[in-house]
């Protein structure tokens, strides 16, 4: 964790118009004692009070009073959006069409799946896919859909990256030797492929420094039986390991070859190529260096548990379809998905999400929202045990599902830092079909499953058909019941000793990890909450009719004063975030700054309230419009 992400003794902060200096703090209950700068009176605050205050209650932390004064005075300017890609408009339009096809199809597929489950029918994917593709404004065949979907997944739904992939395959590719290419690929994977990427100039200087230290020696990937030894790569990148120790190892003698650093121009052009077409995916690594090289690069996850030296350094996330049937609002049996985030160092559970939807963008982003801020959900349920773990993690380990590779999650991981005021989140993806990399959570889910099977009506005792049918018949609980029970399971886990951490409880290990300091997180304002909504990959412009999205027009007082034409004379592009369960309201952002909420004019009722409508309901209305022989764009007529 970076130094500026901790609250320590002597830290200054500005809150509700006053300056304070922290004189004492209790990591276990999150109480901070501070001296008010103007009156010298001592006041006590809780982390919940500070980080969940009202939007207009400004909260700033700084190590000195001088820095605090500077931060109060200085207003961060809005950064003008920069489009560094020189892409033809036709490419961008085609990329947007690809995204529309994939997202609309997937949303309608999920709607059909839910309908089938509610009717107790088997969900036939191919038949449903054919039906979904016919519902598109411009229907496509299944082969085209899979082609588009592969593009969408590979480029995380990023319009510019998908558009750039339409260039010729040799665009910006430059000739180089195998060791040179391997050297640059390793550097990109280590320092340039995540949200916390190193600056280009600094990365080039780092490359020069590494080769100088290694006497211009680097492994030749073709001289290894399988992958280049991971220990060798780590030693070469570690300046504390003497080069003579590496050279004295006879196993490395035939692997290391003299490798020249490419020119700075070549280096920058290659990075530009990487940004346009990010080639460090699984298929390309395997194609260049073999499957063992891909596996070797990810063995780091097996050592996460052992390497974790502090809280919030490594955090794991995973999903579990709970072995239990509950009743929905229509008294029909359904199963819910549990998403959990767990800290590797302390084994503490940071937060969770309990949703009916299968793992998706909302699953991980909802769990993140619950994890990062001090928790009150267990208190609201009347549970007395302490649950004090919270904070922004440095590394978040995720499986390789397409939802985790979303543009929405990547933007959230960057934007949570508020332009460097807090640490951002590095997203680390576990190799597909490698369950052992998430074993820390798998064991937790196994423990929870055993207790649910013992204690709750409607639990699925086995995968046998008769046990599943019996569980449906015995379903008695509702969402609220399971939500409370999950809290009880987590609190019990937090205060139960764990062999993996020396017999301490996760709660005790977390307190030990705090070392008389508390994590600092951004204040949980409305804008910060909106950051955890799903982000649309397409930007929008503000017109005289407002902002157009989902076939509707959105307006509010916040966009009346929003800038429409930038200093470059071009229309300003805004990003939008939305809750799929209610698209009557959107949130608009510019370069990560929250502008405000906007409301669908078409959903405004006579009494001034808004009619709630979900993405799935909109797709159903479009289908009804087509069934009635009208264009899908007339779906608003069928919202009732």
| CATH code: domain of residue 400 | 3.30.420.10
Do 586 and 504 fall within a single domain? no
State mean pLDDT over 74-83. 36
pLDDT tens digit sequence for 273-292: 665 544 445 566 667 777 67
Q: Which of 302, 325, 346 is the last residue of a domain?
A: 302
CA–CA dist 79, 103 (Å, integer):
30
The count of domains in the chain is 5
Question: Which residues constitute the domain of residue 252?
Answer: 178-302
- The reported pLDDT for the residue numbered 80 is 33
Nearest to 430 by CA among 340, 303, 318, 301: 301
pLDDT tens digit sequence for 128-182: 888 889 888 888 888 888 888 777 766 667 777 787 777 654 444 446 788 888 8
Tokens 């003008």 — which residue? 80
Quick check: 38 pLDDT over 80? no
CA–CA dist 402, 411 (Å, integer):
15
Q: Is 587 a member of any domain?
A: yes
Share of the chain above pLDDT 70, in %: 85
CA distances from 261 to 176, 252, 257, 267 (A): 10, 20, 13, 9
CA–CA dist 571, 458 (Å, integer):
56
Quick check: 306 pLDDT over 70? no
Could you tell me if 191 and 207 are in contact, meaning their C-beta atoms sit under 8 angstroms apart? no
CA–CA dist 485, 323 (Å, integer):
13
Nearest to 27 by CA among 11, 43, 41, 8: 8
Q: Is 82 a member of any domain?
A: no
Do 333 and 195 fall within a single domain? no
* Better-scored residue on pLDDT, 423 or 401: 423
CA–CA dist 574, 81 (Å, integer):
9
Q: Which of 27-41, 214-228, 429-443 has the lowest mean pLDDT?
A: 429-443
Quick check: 609 pLDDT over 70? yes
Average pLDDT, the chain: 83
Tokens 């239990």 — which residue? 324
Do 237 and 377 fall within a single domain? no
Q: Is 87 a member of any domain?
A: no
Phi-psi region of 569 (alpha: psi -120 to 50; beta: other; left: phi over 0): left
Do 267 and 387 fall within a single domain? no
β 326-327/333-334 pair status: antiparallel
pLDDT tens digit sequence for 322-373: 999 999 999 999 999 999 999 989 999 999 999 998 888 999 999 999 999 9
Could you tell me if 407 and 287 are in contact, meaning their C-beta atoms sit under 8 angstroms apart? no
- The reported pLDDT for the residue numbered 504 is 93
Q: Is 476 a member of any domain?
A: yes
Q: Is 90 a member of any domain?
A: no
Could you tell me if 144 and 151 are in contact, meaning their C-beta atoms sit under 8 angstroms apart? no
State mean pLDDT over 72-78. 48
- The reported pLDDT for the residue numbered 485 is 96
pLDDT grade for 497, boundaries at 50, 70 and 90 = very high
Q: Which of 278, 302, 326 is the last residue of a domain?
A: 302
Do 282 and 333 fall within a single domain? no
Do 250 and 184 fall within a single domain? yes
Quick check: 300 pLDDT over 50? no
Do 454 and 495 fall within a single domain? yes
- The reported pLDDT for the residue numbered 434 is 44
Q: Is 393 a member of any domain?
A: yes
Do 361 and 270 fall within a single domain? no
CA distances from 356 to 319, 359, 483, 488 (A): 12, 9, 12, 20
State mean pLDDT over 214-238. 85
CA atoms in the 13 A half-sphere facing the CB of 442:
8
Q: Which of 236-240, 311-315, 465-469 has the lowest mean pLDDT?
A: 236-240
Quick check: 195 pLDDT over 50? no
* Better-scored residue on pLDDT, 568 or 371: 371
pLDDT tens digit sequence for 525-550: 999 999 999 999 899 999 988 999 99
- The reported pLDDT for the residue numbered 537 is 87
**Which phi and psi (to 5°) does residue 314 adopt?**
-125, 130
> Is the whole model's pTM more than 0.75, yes or no?
no
pLDDT tens digit sequence for 432-480: 434 444 456 777 888 999 999 999 999 999 888 899 999 999 999 999 9
- The reported pLDDT for the residue numbered 340 is 95
Highest mean pLDDT among 349-363, 508-522, 625-639: 349-363
Quick check: 70 pLDDT over 80? no
Do 582 and 493 fall within a single domain? no
Q: Is 348 a member of any domain?
A: yes
Do 313 and 444 fall within a single domain? yes
Q: Is 347 a member of any domain?
A: yes
Q: How many CB atoms lie within 10 A of CB 388?
A: 18
> Cα 311 from chain centroid?
19
β 395-398/426-429 pair status: parallel
- The reported pLDDT for the residue numbered 436 is 42
Could you tell me if 11 and 22 are in contact, meaning their C-beta atoms sit under 8 angstroms apart? yes
Q: Which of 8-12, 300-304, 492-496, 557-561 has the lowest mean pLDDT?
A: 300-304
Radius of gyration in angstroms for the set of CA atoms belonging to the chain, rounded to a whole number: 26
Q: Which of 122-126, 212-216, 502-506, 540-544 has the lowest mean pLDDT?
A: 122-126
pLDDT tens digit sequence for 256-271: 999 998 888 888 877 7
CA–CA dist 138, 466 (Å, integer):
44
The sign of the CA dihedral 104, 110, 112, 114 is negative
- The reported pLDDT for the residue numbered 349 is 96
pLDDT grade for 56, boundaries at 50, 70 and 90 = low
State mean pLDDT over 408-419. 88
- The reported pLDDT for the residue numbered 154 is 61
- The reported pLDDT for the residue numbered 252 is 86
- The reported pLDDT for the residue numbered 57 is 66
Structure-block tokens of residue 346: 């302390």
Q: Which of 245, 271, 302 is the last residue of a domain?
A: 302
- The reported pLDDT for the residue numbered 169 is 46
Quick check: 75 pLDDT over 50? no
Do 158 and 222 fall within a single domain? no
Quick check: 303 pLDDT over 60? no
Here the CATH number for the domain that contains residue 59 is: 2.30.30
CA–CA dist 525, 451 (Å, integer):
37
- The reported pLDDT for the residue numbered 433 is 39
Do 65 and 104 fall within a single domain? no
Highest mean pLDDT among 219-228, 298-307, 481-490: 481-490
pLDDT grade for 82, boundaries at 50, 70 and 90 = very low
């Amino acid at each position: 964790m970076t130094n500026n992400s901790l609250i320590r003794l002597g830290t200054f902060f500005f809150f509700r118009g006053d300056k304070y200096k922290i004189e004492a703090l209790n990591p276990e209950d999150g109480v901070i004692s501070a001296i008010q700068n103007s009156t010298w009176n001592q006041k006590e605050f809780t982390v919940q009070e500070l980080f969940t205050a009202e939007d207009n209650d400004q909260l700033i932390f700084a190590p000195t009073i001088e820095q605090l004064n500077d931060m109060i005075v200085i207003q961060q300017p809005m950064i003008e959006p920069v489009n560094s890609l020189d892409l033809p408009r036709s490419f961008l339009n085609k990329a947007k069409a690809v995204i529309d096809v994939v997202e609309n199809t997937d949303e309608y597929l999920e709607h059909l799946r839910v309908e089938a489950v509610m009717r107790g029918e088997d969900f036939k994917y191919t038949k449903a896919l054919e039906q979904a593709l016919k519902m598109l404004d411009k229907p496509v065949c299944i082969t085209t859909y899979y082609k588009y979907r592969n593009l969408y997944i590979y480029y995380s739904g990023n319009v510019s990256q998908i558009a750039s992939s339409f260039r010729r395959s040799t665009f910006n590719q430059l000739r180089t030797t195998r060791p040179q290419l391997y050297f640059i690929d390793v550097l990109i994977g280590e320092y340039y492929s995540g949200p916390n990427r190193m600056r280009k100039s600094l990365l080039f200087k780092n490359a020069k420094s590494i080769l100088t230290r290694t006497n211009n020696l680097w492994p030749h990937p073709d001289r290894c039986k399988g992958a280049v030894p991971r220990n060798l790569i780590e030693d070469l990148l570690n300046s504390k390991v003497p080069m003579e120790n590496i050279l004295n190892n006879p196993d490395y003698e035939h692997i290391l070859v003299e490798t020249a650093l490419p020119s700075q121009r070549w280096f920058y052009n290659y990075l530009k190529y990487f940004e346009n077409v990010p080639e460090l995916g699984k298929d390309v690594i395997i194609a260049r260096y073999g499957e063992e090289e891909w596996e070797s690069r990810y063995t780091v996850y097996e050592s996460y548990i052992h390497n974790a030296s502090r809280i919030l350094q490594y955090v794991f996330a995973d999903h579990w379809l709970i072995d239990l049937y509950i009743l929905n609002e229509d008294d029909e049996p359904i199963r819910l998905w549990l998403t959990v985030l767990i800290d590797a160092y302390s084994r503490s559970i940071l937060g969770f999400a309990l949703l009916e939807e299968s793992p998706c963008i909302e699953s991980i982003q909802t769990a993140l929202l619950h994890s990062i801020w001090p928790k009150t959900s267990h208190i609201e349920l009347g549970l007395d045990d302490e649950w004090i773990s919270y904070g922004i993690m440095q590394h978040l380990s995720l499986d390789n599902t397409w939802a985790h590779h979303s543009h929405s999650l990547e933007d959230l991981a960057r934007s949570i830092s508020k332009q460097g005021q807090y640490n951002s989140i590095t997203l680390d993806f576990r190799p597909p079909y490698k369950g052992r990399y998430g074993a820390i959570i798998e064991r937790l889910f196994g423990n929870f499953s055993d207790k649910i099977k013992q204690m709750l009506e409607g639990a699925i005792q086995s995968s046998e058909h008769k046990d599943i049918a019996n569980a449906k018949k015995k379903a008695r609980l509702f969402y609220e019941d399971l939500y409370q029970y999950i809290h009880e399971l987590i609190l019990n886990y937090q205060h139960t000793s764990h062999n993996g951490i020396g017999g301490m409880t996760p709660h005790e290990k977390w307190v030990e990890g705090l070392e008389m300091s508390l994590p600092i997180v951004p204040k949980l304002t409305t804008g910060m909450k909106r950051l955890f909504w799903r982000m649309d990959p397409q930007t929008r412009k503000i017109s005289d009719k407002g902002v157009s999205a989902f076939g509707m027009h959105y307006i509010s007082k916040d966009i009346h004063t929003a800038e429409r034409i930038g200093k470059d004379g071009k229309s300003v592009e805004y990003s939008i975030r939305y809750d799929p369960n209610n698209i009557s309201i959107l949130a608009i952002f510019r370069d990560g700054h929250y502008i405000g909420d906007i409301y669908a004019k078409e959903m405004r009722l006579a009494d001034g309230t808004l009619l709630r409508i979900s993405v799935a309901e909109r797709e159903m209305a479009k289908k009804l419009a087509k069934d009635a022989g009208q264009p899908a764009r007339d779906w608003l007529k069928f919202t009732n």
